[in-house]
Amino acid sequence: MVTPVSKLDQLPRIGPSLSQKLATLGILTVEDLIYYFPRAWEDLTQLTPISHLIPDGQKRTIRVKLSGINTFRSPYKKMMLTQAIATDPSGTLPVIWFNQPYLRTTLKTGNEYLLTGKVEKRSGKLTLVSPEIERASEVPVHSLRIVPIYPESGALSSKIFRRLCANLAPIIRQVEDYLPESIRKEYNLVSLPEALLHLHFPASLEFLQSAKDRLSFDELLLTQLSVQSVKQFLQSTKAEPIPQEIEFIKEILEKLPYKLTVGQKKALWEIVQDLSDTKPTNRLLEGDVGSGKTIVITISMLVAAKNKFQSALMAPTEVLAYQHYQSIQPLVEQFGFSCRLHTQSFQLGPETADITIGTHALIQESITFNNLNLVIVDEQHRFGVEQREKLKKKGIVPHFISLTATPIPRSLALTLFGDLDLSVISEKPIGRKPIITRALTPQEHGSAYKLIQQEINAGRQAFVITPLILESDRLNTKSAEKEFKNIQTLFPHARVGLLHGRLTTEKKQLVMSAFKNKLLDILVATTVIEVGVDIPNATVMLIEGAERFGLAQLHQLRGRVGRSMYQSYCFVVPTEEEEEIMKRLQIFAQNTDGFKLAEMDLQMRGPGSIFGKMQSGFFRYRLADWTDARAIKQAQEAALKILAESPNLDKYPSLKKKVTIENVTVHSE
């Protein structure tokens, strides 16, 4: 029998090639498929008579017989065209499909079909263009219902997902509901199987809403359960205090090539005060890109080292771990302490080092610390009870600091991260010149290229960012691979590098080091370079396909330059010149405040779009609106009720399992 935990190939009609494609999306089991949620829904419940069709850009379904089915090669565009005439009692209509020559044999004159698509005027005649086809004798999947649209994913169309999910109903009914019955009743929520069923195939818009209500409640509840259990856990544990070492800190500050900003000093002060207490530190350090979070935590780790405690710093990727190591190690050694890099591909420095830098796998691996007392996580995930339990020795847990560059309004941070104290660095180091930002139309590329050349001539470096790695036939957006060639042609005398997520870690490392060591002039990259990359000599950031990024994300990218006394520049160029898009990019060009841009993004594009990156860093909401303070409060209240009844969630083992799983999110490019 196929159950939710079965491997996908146990389902009918899933062969090796399809399961391989699904695996690249992380869909390995039936349950993964069930949890691959649609991103939108189309109401196609109505059948439309042919005589009522108008070219209004809306999809409609007609129920018709076909005649005159004919496939031929179009004379000028070298395309295979299939034409037919559709007939229903109200009238007739020409239909056309492109490049689907097999239709000639699969479509049969006289059979009844459901065709779903848009009508357009073609050579003066209303025509149904490339409709989806279903036999009228079969239960419809793509029409006559509220039809789910799945996230765009290369070779896997919504159509394929719909067909796969249409078979899942009996298995979805077996999904265990992990939510306590009492909570479900109290908050008026449908059962989990019912919610999952109606999310994929809603019986009505009302059922869809109740499915969304239930599943978004769950998302918020799981975060709150984690937040609240961390809070309770911390109340039940102690930490070893790390004394403040004021003199030592003064000594470090004197040796720095710059003065700390007011925000940095305040954050450092808050942290060292926390660390000197027996209550475990649990602090979120928030600061815009380039605000200088690294030095603040480096000093904190040095203070720990001075007291003979070990520290660990975890970054989201190996590239960033390596970068942290490069910038932190010299300072640490200057003060007579040792620093170590430990990732899958790199092991540098002594095993007994005072400070260990790695990826989030540091904690999961069996690497041993003999006196770990400070854990710092950069842009990664929340640090849950599970991980703290692992590090606990004789009831004592290490101090914990989390770093983020996402500007989260303070009030929201308090509801979301009820367990964390908050430090904010709100200003940039003094002496930095504001980055000159210009929104260019694709025709104006020349001025960006001219400036890149000028900066290279002056010994500076440039980034060129594209949204995609490879060319896509569906989107004509620039890809890193193609842009790499383009830039090489445009700058024949420059040394150009390419960086994206599909390169091996060693290759990425090599490219990053080469760029850092000024062996490359221009780096063409995807957003793999987004978080934390520090190349002070880079002064130009050219962002291609800029319409595909949120304002907050553009701001993060812009923050990769302007990290020195040199004047820096940022160019944002959309794929196509379009008024709305240019307007949005102009707004970006005129604003330098990350918090403000995040807020505007929120207004213009809704919460989902901007905080995508942060969601992957801290938690992943697909349905819940994490800016909805009322819904979060409600989830918090429910979480407290459940924890009051069963402090360790032992009464609800399947819920407990969910909380830990949801807690550790994997950062993806």
Instruction: Summarize as ranges the residues that interact with Mg ion (CB under 5 A).
Output: 532
Closer to ligand ADP at the Cβ: 289 or 341?
289
- By CB under 6 A, residue 294 contacts ligand ADP: yes
Residue at 194: amino acid letter: E
Closer to ligand ADP at the Cβ: 293 or 548?
293
Closer to Mg ion at the Cβ: 193 or 290?
290
Q: Kindly indicate which of the ranges 183-191, 225-233, 473-481, 528-536 contains the residues binding ligand ADP, using the contact rule CB under 6 A.
A: 528-536
Pattern 259-288, binding to ligand ADP, x per CB under 6 A?
Answer: xxx--x----------------------x-
Could you tell me which residues are beta bridge partners of residue 542?
464, 571
The residue at minimum Cβ distance from ligand ADP is 292
Closer to Mg ion at the Cβ: 88 or 288?
288
Shortest distance (Å) from residue 535 CB to ligand ADP: 9
Q: Which of residues 460-499 bind ligand ADP (CB under 6 A)?
A: none
- By CB under 6 A, residue 293 contacts ligand ADP: yes
Separation of alpha carbons 312 and 262, rounded Å: 26
261 binds, among Mg ion, ligand ADP, none (CB under 5 to 8 A by kind): ligand ADP
- By CB under 6 A, residue 221 contacts ligand ADP: no
SS (H, E, C) 7-69: EHHHCCCCCHHHHHHHHHCCCCEHHHHHCCCCCEEEECCCECCHHHCCCCCCCEEEEEEEEEE
- Please, which residues have CB within 8 angstroms of residue 228's CB and are 6 or more apart in sequence? 418, 419, 636, 639, 640, 643
Q: Kindly indicate which of the ranges 193-201, 252-260, 339-347, 482-490 contains the residues binding ligand ADP, using the contact rule CB under 6 A.
A: 252-260
Backbone angles phi, psi at 113, to 5 degrees: -130, 155
Residue at 509: amino acid letter: Q
Could you tell me which residues are beta bridge partners of residue 509?
none
Alpha-carbon separation of residue 648 from 225, 383, 389 (angstroms): 10, 17, 13
408 binds, among Mg ion, ligand ADP, none (CB under 5 to 8 A by kind): none
Closer to Mg ion at the Cβ: 263 or 532?
532
Residues near ligand ADP (CB under 6 A), total: 19
- By CB under 6 A, residue 292 contacts ligand ADP: yes
Shortest distance (Å) from residue 513 CB to ligand ADP: 17
Q: Which two tokens stand for residue 462?
A: 């440039």
Shortest distance (Å) from residue 283 CB to Mg ion: 16
- By CB under 6 A, residue 291 contacts ligand ADP: yes
Q: Is 495 helix (H, G, I), strand (E, B) or coil?
A: coil
133 binds, among Mg ion, ligand ADP, none (CB under 5 to 8 A by kind): none
Closer to ligand ADP at the Cβ: 241 or 536?
536
Q: Which residues of 249-276 are buried (b: 16+ CB within 10 A; e: fewer)?
A: beebeeeeeeebbebbebbbebbbebbb
- By CB under 6 A, residue 595 contacts ligand ADP: no
Nearest to 289 by CA among 516, 552, 84, 632: 552
Shortest distance (Å) from residue 20 CB to ligand ADP: 38
Q: Which of residues 417-436 bind ligand ADP (CB under 6 A)?
A: 429
Q: How many CB atoms lie within 10 A of CB 430?
A: 9
Q: Which two tokens stand for residue 617?
A: 């860093």
- By CB under 6 A, residue 295 contacts ligand ADP: yes
Q: Which two tokens stand for residue 91?
A: 């009238």
Shortest distance (Å) from residue 226 CB to Mg ion: 25
Shortest distance (Å) from residue 210 CB to Mg ion: 42
Shortest distance (Å) from residue 566 CB to ligand ADP: 12
The residue at minimum Cβ distance from Mg ion is 532
Shortest distance (Å) from residue 291 CB to Mg ion: 9
Q: Where are the beta strands (DSSP E) in 303-371?
A: 310-315, 339-342, 347-348, 355-359
Closer to Mg ion at the Cβ: 532 or 617?
532
Its sign, for the CA torsion 617, 641, 179, 652, is positive
Separation of alpha carbons 287 and 406, rounded Å: 7
- By CB under 6 A, residue 380 contacts ligand ADP: no
Q: Is 235 helix (H, G, I), strand (E, B) or coil?
A: helix
Shortest distance (Å) from residue 458 CB to ligand ADP: 19
Q: Which two tokens stand for residue 575?
A: 């794929």
Residue at 309: amino acid letter: F
Nearest to 358 by CA among 374, 347, 373, 371: 347
Closer to ligand ADP at the Cβ: 171 or 295?
295
607 binds, among ligand ADP, Mg ion, none (CB under 5 to 8 A by kind): none
Separation of alpha carbons 225 and 233, rounded Å: 12
98 binds, among Mg ion, ligand ADP, none (CB under 5 to 8 A by kind): none
Residue listed under structure tokens 């001219």 = 450
534 binds, among Mg ion, ligand ADP, none (CB under 5 to 8 A by kind): ligand ADP
- By CB under 6 A, residue 290 contacts ligand ADP: yes
- Please, which residues have CB within 8 angstroms of residue 647's CB and are 6 or more apart in sequence? 232
Its sign, for the CA torsion 97, 100, 103, 105, is positive
- Our CA dihedral for 60, 63, 69, 74, rounded to 10 degrees, sits at 0
Shortest distance (Å) from residue 431 CB to ligand ADP: 7
Shortest distance (Å) from residue 351 CB to Mg ion: 26
Shortest distance (Å) from residue 561 CB to ligand ADP: 11
What residue ranges bind ligand ADP (CB under 6 A)?
A: 258-261, 264, 287, 289-295, 405, 429, 532, 534, 536, 563
